[in-house]
Amino acid sequence: MTARNDDLAGFERRVRAVLEQDAAGASGRVRSRLTQARHVALAGARARREKPSGRLLWPRAWLPATVTAAAALAAVWLLRPYRTAQPPAPGIVTAQDVQLLTDRDGLALVEGGNGEFYEWAVAQARSTPASAAGKAGPGKHGG
């Protein structure tokens, strides 16, 4: 690393010497115009650094706001109250009710049978959890 730094220092000294030699050979008028141009360029660069440009914000400035908004959205979504589907209130007709009433095969079974199976099924549904739905009906195990 030291050899490289020495090379850079030597290069800088040579460039400085050449530039000083050229500047000494330039007329006063040329030096004045170069100095004025340098001051205008520096003032423009300073103004661009101090005041924002016409853009809203540079992209990295949006990152904290985006992360904050995403965290807030996730918190609201995760902390919202968990709601389960509730059965409709009595007297309200649902699409499932209409489907059952318009099913011709089901209507024929109800009209043609004596209703024992349906009474047993309703009693089973009310008294046991859904996992016991696979148990046999009254016809197979006497009931």
pLDDT for 9 equals: 87
Cα torsion at 63, 65, 68, 70 (round to 10°)?
-70
Residue 71: inside a domain: no
Range of the domain at 31: 1-53
Residue corresponding to tokens 């030291």:
2
CB contact set of 23 (below 8 Å; sequence gap of 6+): 31
Residue 72: inside a domain: no
Residue 31: inside a domain: yes
Q: Work out the mean pLDDT of the chain and round it to a whole number.
A: 77
Give the total number of structural domains in the chain.
Answer: 2
Contact 117/137 with Cβ under 8 angstroms? Answer: yes
Query: Which structure tokens are listed for 6?
Result: 């020495």
Residue 82: inside a domain: no
Contact 138/120 with Cβ under 8 angstroms? Answer: yes
| pLDDT tens figures, 60-98 | 777 888 889 999 999 888 888 777 777 767 777 778 878
Residue 27: inside a domain: yes
**Cα–Cα dist 124/118, whole Å:** 10
| pLDDT tens figures, 130-139 | 544 455 555 5
Residue 118: inside a domain: yes
Residue 123: inside a domain: yes
Contact 121/106 with Cβ under 8 angstroms? Answer: no
pTM: 0.28
Residue 66: inside a domain: no
